[in-house]
Amino acid sequence: MNDAPDTRERPDYAQYIVCAVMVAVGAFLVYDGLSMPGGYAEVDPVGPRFFPITIGIGLLAMSVVLAIAIPRGYKGEADAGEDIDPDMPSDWRTVGLLVGLFVALIVLVEPLGWVIASALFFAGCATVLGSNHYVRNIAIGTVLALASFYAFYSGLGIPLPAGILDGIL
């Protein structure tokens, strides 16, 4: 009989949650891609279905690979370039403020418009993450908001809500 304790590390079974999410998202993308109507452009040989189906199949395949690797004890290596201290507690205040800003963006984007709501969002995120240059935060947020508004509108043909600036933008 061998009375030596088992020194092998137990697999991290919580990673199966990641597998389940990958399967759910992959299956949704494949289903959505297959149910999407085709024939948008005569000159487009790929069509709009190709990318969701390809990404969905990739997610399904990677979930199988991860599900096989988990019981074998494979773990990803920590990045050597990360300058974080794993022993420090999480900063839940910052996380909560960022989530609050994101919820405010969702609530305000329709009445105020994309430019104003996202400029406030970008400036707020910079401030929450430690920038004390409030005027510069707002200026950079405004530039990012205007650039993204016109990139979507002119570049992609997707109109974002103009809100109270309707007719000015």
Q: Is the pLDDT of residue 82 over 90?
A: no
pLDDT at residue 88 in the model:
76
pLDDT at 13: 75
Residue-by-residue DSSP string for 105-136: HHHHHHHH-HHHHHHHHHHHHHHHTT---HHH
- The mean pLDDT value of the chain amounts to 85
Grade residue 97 by pLDDT with cuts at 50, 70 and 90. very high
Does residue 136 register a pLDDT over 80? yes
Banded model confidence at residue 80, pLDDT cuts 50, 70, 90: low
Q: How far apart are CA 41 and CA 105, in angstroms?
A: 34
pLDDT of residue 153: 86
pLDDT surpassing 70 at residue 124: yes
CB 143 within 8 A of CB 126: no
Q: What is the pLDDT of residue 155?
A: 80
Contacts 24+ apart (CB under 8 A), 126-133: 128/94, 128/97, 128/98, 128/101, 129/94, 129/98
- For 18-45, what is each residue's pLDDT tens digit? 999 999 999 999 999 888 876 665 666 6
Predicted local distance difference test score (pLDDT) of residue 87: 72
Q: Judge contact between 91 and 130, C-beta under 8 A.
A: no
> Domain coordinates of the chain in residue numbers?
13-72, 92-165
Average pLDDT rounded to a whole number, residues 143-167: 89
CB distance 13 to 72 below 8 Å: no
Residue 84 pLDDT > 90: no
**Spatial separation of the C-alpha atoms in residues 97 and 119, rounded to whole Å:** 16
pTM of the model: 0.58
How many CB atoms lie under 10 A from the CB of residue 141?
22
> What's the CA gap between 88 and 159, in Å, rounded?
43
